[in-house]
Amino acid sequence: MSAVTESRAWPAEGLARVPYWIYQDEDVYRREQEHIYRGDTWNFLGLEAELPEKGDFKTTFVGEMPVVVTRDEGGALNCFENRCAHRGALLCLKSRGNTKEITCIYHNWTYDLEGNLTGVAFRRGVRGQGGMPEDAKPESEAPRKLRVATFCGLMFATLSEATPPIEQYIGPEVAAKIRRVMKEPVRLLGGYTQVLQSNWKLYFENVKDTYHASLLHLFFSTFRLNRLEQKGGVVVGGEGGSHASFTMMKSDPSGDEYERAGMRSASGGYALEAPQMLESVDEIGDGVTLQILTVFPGFVLQQIMNSLAVRQVLPKGVRRTELVWTCFGYASDDARMTELRMKQANLVGPAGYISLEDGAATGFVQRGAAGASERSSFVEMGGRTVESNESRVTETSVRGLWQQYRRHMGL
Ligand code: FES
Ligand SMILES: [Fe+2]
């Protein structure tokens, strides 16, 4: 074994250590594209509600691969590579729209909404001159088609035939938590994108990390939205790749561990000038005020009080990640409920009262570990294994991520 491969072996401690080269190596990044995004995983594409009509399309990404998602004339969803069979140009330049066919702007080759090549400009040449040979088969380089699966109005795609059915992939416990939020038809409210100066896995770890929420996010703990003494738990499923964490509203008034420990996040007597910001409705009826859920490799579902959103985590290079947020409510919402959701949407997003700090924290790790590729992070909160837990003082779902990741990467 060469020195290079030796130093790139996973630490002997297993899931309780994560080597920093995993966030830094170009070679790892390239292999992730092949083994994870173009391998046997389900990649989140967006909400079905984004494509309500026949002919609707959107463009997005599966890893770095650009894709087009369409609803065809038969009403079926399709996903194919956004790459022209001819010389590889993007087929579709718009982020969304409605169309009957897709025409590549470079030399006008045309495609139907299933991604089939339907026309080659001047294929027979002009006045008997030029054109393609009789036996040319340009469809052989046609954009690859992905399998599409929907679950509770969420669209996923995979290039692999080996990817298990979507619900099995997510796992039954986490699938039930998706159903809980996606309980009825949704209405889109809007969205935003955010660029993170860190590797995609640092963000995915952050969302799965239940331990940081009340310590990093002062807004959470100061206004008692999420403190670790509140009742809650973590469910890990899908061979470690999926998780859902949840918090119940009422905190135990008998004690305040944060003040006792003199933490930065103790309240310090602050109060909101506009407390209506935090008024919420128990619309699902189970007293869960906060649920954060992930599905490997890039899906996040958020319920923070009445602020509902999906997030898509897109890798854009070793040290850069794009986060696409789509906020939604239910089609049955009245104007008051929509306003409440919009108000609470201020908690999240690039400048959200809560999530603003996540973007910073993942960048701090990327920068802090820049000279320590041979060292590892220490992930032993809640033990060294992966299982569901009633405590959120645990890194069990972070270890779950690495369990799934290592399986795909053969590490
Ligand atoms: S690259 Fe698309 S038609 Fe030439
Ligand atoms: Fe966070």
pLDDT tens readout for residues 178-209: 999 999 999 999 999 999 999 999 999 999 99
What average pLDDT does range 229-249 have in this prediction?
A: 91
Count Cβ atoms below 10 Å from residue 185 Cβ, excluding itself: 11
Examine the pLDDT at 310 and tell me if it is beyond 60: yes
Which domains, and CATH codes, for the chain?
A: 43-149 (2.102.10.10), 170-409 (3.90.380.10)
Q: Is 400 helix (H, G, I), strand (E, B) or coil?
A: helix
pLDDT at 391: 86
Residue 151 Cβ < 6 Å to ligand 1:
no
Ligand 1, atom 4, residue with closest C-alpha: 107
**Is the CB–ligand 1 distance for residue 84 below 6 Å?**
yes
Report whether residue 86 contacts ligand 1, using a CB cutoff of 6 Å: yes
The share of the chain scoring above pLDDT 90, in percent, equals 81
Name the phi and psi angles at 157, rounded to 5: -140, 155
Query: How close is the Cα of 71 to the center of ligand 2, in Å?
Result: 35
* Among 41-55, 78-92, 245-259, 277-291, the least confident range: 245-259
Lookup: tokens for 8: 């790139």
Measured from the Cα of 108, ligand 1's closest atom is 3
For residue 287, pLDDT beyond 60 = yes
Return the pLDDT at 1. Answer: 44
Whether residue 154 has its Cβ less than 6 Å from ligand 1 = no
Mean pLDDT along residues 158-177: 98
Q: What percentage of the chain carries pLDDT values higher than 70?
A: 92
The verdict on the CB of residue 89 being under 6 Å from ligand 1 is yes
SS3 at position 48: helix
Residue 2 has pLDDT above 50, yes or no: no
Atom number of ligand 1 nearest to Cα 104: 2
Q: How far is the CA of 86 from the centre of ligand 1 (A)?
A: 5
Q: Is 375 in the pocket of ligand 1 (CB under 6 A)?
A: no
Atom of ligand 1 nearest to the CA of 121: 3
The full DSSP string for 76-92 is -EEEEES--TTT---S-
So what's the pLDDT on residue 221? 74
Q: Is residue 37 lining ligand 1, measured as CB closer than 6 Å?
A: no
Please indicate whether residue 271 or residue 14 has the higher confidence score (pLDDT): 14
Cα-to-centroid distance, 90 and ligand 1 (Å): 8
pLDDT surpasses 50 at 62: yes
pLDDT the model gives residue 8: 86
Going by C-alpha positions, the residue among 307, 232, 245 that lies closest to residue 277 is 307
Average pLDDT over the chain, rounded to whole? 92
Average pLDDT over residues 287-298: 96
Burial class of 64 by CB neighbour count within 10 A (0 to 12, 13 to 18, 19+): middle
Inform me whether the pLDDT recorded for 264 exceeds 60.
no
Higher-pLDDT residue of 359 and 225 is: 359
E-assigned strands of 210-304?
A: 232-237, 242-248, 288-295, 299-304
Q: Which of 10-19, 263-272, 377-386 is least confident?
A: 263-272
Q: How confident is the model at residue 109 (pLDDT cuts 50, 70, 90)?
A: very high
pLDDT bucket at 3, cuts 50 / 70 / 90 = very low
pTM above 0.85, yes or no: yes
The ligand 1 atom nearest the CA atom of 88: 1
* Residue 207 Cα to ligand 2 middle (Å): 6
Name the β-bridge partners of 290. 247, 304
Quote the ligand 1 centre to 62 CA distance (angstroms): 22
- What's the whole-number mean pLDDT along residues 353-358? 89
**Is ligand 1 within 6 A of the CB of residue 87?**
yes
**Does the CB atom of residue 90 touch ligand 1 within 6 A?**
no
